[in-house]
Amino acid sequence: MQQKVIEFTNLLRKSGIRVSVAEAIDAFNALDELSLDDREVFRDALRSAMVKRGDEIATYDELFDLFWSGFYDNLKGAFGEMEGELGEMGIDLEQLLSQLAEMLQDMDGDLDLGELAKALLTQDLSQLENLIRQAAEQAGTQRIENMLQVGFFSRRTTEQLGMEGAAQELEGLAERMRAQGMGDEAIAQMQELIRKLMETVRRAVRNYTERELQQQNHNYMEKFRREMLTEKSFYHLTEDEIARMREVVARLAQRIKNILSIRKKRLKRGKLDLHQTLRRNMARGGIPFEVVYKTRRKDRPKLVIMCDVSSSVANVSRFMLQFMYSLQEAFTKIRCYVFVAELGEVTDVFHDGDVSSAVEKALDGGDVINVYTRSNFGYAFHEFWKNHLSSVDNKTTVIILGDARNNYNDARAWCIRDIRNKAKNLVWLNPESPSAWGFGDSVMDRYMPYCDVVEECRNLRQLSKVVDQIVL
């Protein structure tokens, strides 16, 4: 059992879950008190010892089912199907095995059956599972990398398992049964049983190999799914994908935090000042016993975010807000405003610490605006110009997120002009394709002349690119 826990620990590490030596020891200690008979308790105990982050729980549960419980259940299902197929052929498996057991008891001497043949005759699925696992390990199945190798490693596993030898042993047993007086019909049924057993085991081995591929490549598949998710339009996300997207955004935000942390350390140390270093060490013959660095200070920008929270762009605003508020340390101050037609400040909503719940509250209007109305960008920008322009200065980056669909109202582009004149820069993120800007009720073409950056932002890859430009 300890060996299996070690294998499971290595599988978790390969899939991106960091398990320390101390945590693996805690899992070993839990084995003294637990049994696999209660799989739920066993899974929860190992999870409490090995998983530290909430976003790793889903990966852990999937790998646990793949590693600990799934294959035995598949074996059980496969042998159940085999029994059903034999029943359709008029063969009562239980009666046939009972007859075999009685005749085996009457036989003298050692039957000289191998472990695999015995496990198949007695339907010992636990032993069969162990034999397949051992054979797969000897065949090197843990090195599998893609679907094209499934057939190769399945054949190697059946060779290590000794399938041909077991089939010959069972055929020899059938001949001995014939010699002991078993009737022709029963012998024919036994031979059909042997054929079905071999067929079922081969399918089980292939299933195990495919499961091993899933385990070994789980991290790759997760990465692939995350990459696919970053390319999917915000407009078409399902509820499950929105939940997964939050995890992806958190990972991207953490990547930027790590970069900022490294930069902060470098800025704190400064750059080598060769001139001052030589001057300071003149008395020592120019040998640099004392090194002087140029200290550099990079001011963190202020950030003002204005998000359209109408239903058509809600998902874009959701992930923009999560992204930015996950990076609060990169800014001196963040002020957030939401609008549909009315505009209101929701900065205080984010003071509770739980970014996800704060984002959802902000998308509902933060109790400061009516979200169930028609979009009016011109009115919203005039509200900002009239009541909140003082929040913008020459150190402020202003980010506006919206589709600029103004329902044929007055665009009031001069408000954007005045905001830009006060700000350090102004960035507009539009979830619509550039080919749609300025057509129909879109007034994007009226606002673009007053923006420093205008980017299409309809998926997470595009959003991440813009955030990188702003923060890094």
Q: Give yes or no for residue 238 having a pLDDT over 70.
A: yes
Q: Do the domain assignments include residue 451?
A: yes
Res 70: pLDDT: 64
Tokens of 372: 């169930």
133 in a domain, yes or no? yes
DSSP for 342-394 reads: SEEE-GGGGGGS-HHHHHHHHHTTTTTS--SS---HHHHHHHHHHHTGGG--T
Q: For 201-211, how does the pLDDT look when each residue is reduced to its tens digit (9 = 90+)?
A: 999 999 989 88
Residue 335, pLDDT > 70, answer: yes
* Residues 110, 254 share a domain: no
Backbone angles phi, psi at 219, to 5 degrees: -65, -40
**Same-domain check for residues 260 and 392:** yes
In a domain, 456, yes or no: yes
pLDDT, mean of residues 241-261: 78
Cβ contact 241:229 at 8 Å: yes
Sign of CA dihedral 37, 40, 44, 50: positive
Mean pLDDT, range 392-408, rounded to an integer = 93
- Whether residue 44 is contained in a domain is answered as no
CA distance 166 to 164: 5
Length of the chain: 472
153-207 pLDDT, tens per residue? Answer: 999 999 999 999 999 988 888 888 888 778 888 888 888 988 999 999 999 999 9
Which residues form the domain of 337?
239-269+301-471
**Among the three residues 184, 216, 248, which one is the final residue of a domain in this structure?**
216
439: CATH? 3.40.50.410
> Which among 44-48, 177-181, 363-367, 369-373 has the top mean pLDDT?
369-373
- If asked whether residues 262 and 188 sit together in one domain, one would say no
Task: Check if the beta carbon of residue 355 is closer than 8 Å to that of residue 380.
Answer: no
**What is the average per-residue pLDDT within 123-132?**
88
- 111 in Cβ contact with 104 (< 8 Å): yes
Q: Is the dihedral of CA 217, 222, 227, 229 positive or negative?
A: positive
**Residue 400 reports pLDDT greater than 80:** yes
Question: To which residue do tokens 């385990």 refer?
Answer: 215
197 and 265 share one domain = no
Structural domain contains residue 19? no
pLDDT higher than 80, residue 467: yes
Q: pLDDT digits over 270-329, tens only?
A: 677 888 888 888 888 778 888 888 766 666 778 999 999 988 788 888 888 888 888 777
Quote the number of domains for the chain: 2
Which pLDDT band, with edges at 50, 70 and 90, does 376 fall under? very high
Percentage of the chain surpassing pLDDT 70? 92
**Shared domain check, 101 and 247:** no
Separation CA 228–CA 23 (nearest Å): 33
My answer on whether 380 and 342 are in the same domain is: yes
Task: Please check whether residue 346 lies inside any domain of the structure.
Answer: yes
DSSP character string of 300-316: PPEEEEEEE-SGGGHHH
Per-residue b/e over 112-145, b at no fewer than 16 CB within 10 Å? ebebbbebbbebebeebbebbbebbeebebeebe
Tens-place pLDDT, residues 55-112 = 678 788 878 877 776 677 788 888 888 888 888 888 888 888 887 777 777 665 456 7
Do 134 and 248 belong together in one domain?
no
Tell whether 172 and 127 lie within a shared domain: yes
Element (H, E) at 398: strand 396-401
In a domain, 288, yes or no: no
Statement to judge: residues 143 and 261 lie in one domain: no
pLDDT at 367 exceeding the cut of 90: no
The predicted structure's pLDDT at residue 109? 47
- What is residue 402's predicted lDDT score, i.e. its pLDDT? 92
Helix (H) or strand (E) holding 334: strand 333-339
Q: Span 222-238, mean pLDDT?
A: 79
Please write the tens of the pLDDT for every residue from 420-466. Answer: 999 999 999 999 999 999 999 999 999 999 999 999 998 888 888 88
Contact, 321 vs 410, CB < 8 A? no
Nearest by Cα to 126 from 85, 73, 197? 73
- Please, what is the average pLDDT of the chain? 84
The whole-number average pLDDT for the span 374-380 is 95
Question: Which residues pair with residue 430 across a beta bridge?
Answer: 456
**pTM recorded for the entire structure:** 0.59
> Could you tell me if 105 and 162 lie in one domain?
yes
- Confidence band, pLDDT 50/70/90 cuts, at residue 263: low
Residues 312 and 459 both lie in one domain: yes
Instruction: Tell whether 33 is covered by a domain.
Output: no
Q: Which of 150, 185, 216 is the last residue of a domain?
A: 216
Same domain, 114 and 166: yes
